[in-house]
A and B are shown apart, each in its own frame.
Chain A
């Protein structure tokens, strides 16, 4: 059996009365790209901190490539970008990255890292004189420069605009194409869906769902179609695509996996009154995912 890149077994961490991570178990095989998806305060950063050996867990086991995380980091097997910080004043990007590279046995060439992080041409700029997005890329470059097999990124695209985000993921795909294992956290469902092989949803320190992006897509594609009810409505539940029917006041809310078909059928039946189509939001996704977990 191949050793997992990441292995967390029933890890728990409390800060005072707050249970940040509560018995979380997660195994990531080599080469997978995994998104850790969850709302603010879900315990993503704490989980990542424990995985990297920065935060000692209260209980449970952590390992990177089968060894103690601290040791794995020391051997250059893992590189990481924390949610914030890590930049120092009075040095240039080149000086900073050259130093970090020098601590690893087989780092990537500087030019390649600059290209991957979309920073070519910026290398002689002072780190303290960068925009938020540029600083974020430097932090990303610090995680990559040692050419580690496991790359852990805590909200890597938080400060990036749409274009930069796209470029960022292009760079990442170059790396995953080389067999790297990637774990990243995000608040964005789309990002998790598009970029990850597997999405792990965490909430209140627990894993509430764990599946491929296709699995997740199926569940979260649940769109709500609602119309004003007239008379008997139970039959609406049998329309194509509808998975759930709910009546609130005079409105009928239909959860649909195929909203086009549902709307078409409503029209044919002459039941379109004050039609509203609402795509699933993150909240719905969590609800759907949590529901799935308990079935």
Chain B
């Protein structure tokens, strides 16, 4: 399974979609947004909030891109080829989930590094650790949603669904523009999205408060929903592969 993860990571870093949605776009947007100072508060606080938002956006990009890869692999007959090797189906799925989890690391790192190097963001060591950890672990529900789309939908449709989910969740979840500026009804929706809860954990840490239980509960709820969705798709794909 090690070899499988290695191969999939190699493919990921050579993938244009990953570079654009997972790394380039969040870094560029971070530089633009933080210097427009759209976030509330002073410039330094704004740079921190936007840094977390864009790192979250980049991580989502990586996670969804990984899911689109599954649909591509299915169309290419790669999943069938894997079934003709001694790898067990469970190893293939776990390998793909692990690839998704590892694949978000460069996205998070790129934005956080830009924060430190360009916008001179300063946080305590404990805050950095907590933010990296939460941004990282929190991508699992999105990886599962991406994989679910990859298993349930075919090639192009899966890629479109994942890009739509990425953009929709990023915008409505307040990753691009803070929800503070949203109309009331949209803010009410935003507070139930997994993306808003996901980023909220790290926003809280960055502002020096403990992550709220509400955000944790919502994110865990979505984890279960997306996990079931991915499992359903995997079983369905197994019958037709």
Contact = CB atoms under 8 A, between A and B. Distances in A.
Interface residues of A, number: 31
A102 interface: yes
B80 interface: yes
Nearest to A55: B241
A76 B78 contact: no
B3 A88 contact: no
B86 A88 contact: no
A76 to B, nearest CB: 5
B85 A100 contact: yes
B86 A86 contact: no
Interface stretch (A26-34, A89-97, A227-235, A250-258): A89-97
Contacts of B10: 90-91, 95
Contacts of A90: 10-11, 14-15
Contact of A73 (B76, B77, B85): B85
A80 interface: yes
B20 interface: no
A86 B80 contact: yes
A82 B81 contact: yes
Contacts of B72: 89
Contact of A88 (B6, B76, B85): B76
A87 B76 contact: yes
Given A75-B86, A85-B76, A99 B6 contact: yes
* Residue from B6, B76, B84, B88 with most neighbouring chain A CB atoms (10 Å): B84
Interface residues of B, number: 23
B85 A86 contact: no
Contact of B77 (A78, A86, A100, A104): A86
B204 interface: no
Contacts of A146: 85-86
A194 interface: no
Contacts of B84: 52, 54, 73, 78-80, 82, 143
A128 to B, nearest CB: 10
A86 B4 CA distance: 15
Nearest to A80: B84
A103 interface: yes
Contacts of A87: 76-78
Interface in A218-264: none
B191 interface: no
Given A74-B86, A82-B84, A85-B78, A99 B11 contact: no
Contacts of A96: 7
Interface in B87-136: 87-88
Contacts of B214: none
Contact of B4 (A54, A76, A99): A99
* Residue from A73, A84, A98, A99 with most neighbouring chain B CB atoms (10 Å): A99
B3 A142 contact: no
Interface in B123-155: none
B83 interface: yes
Interface of B: 2-4, 6-7, 10-11, 14-15, 72-73, 76-78, 80-81, 83-88, 241
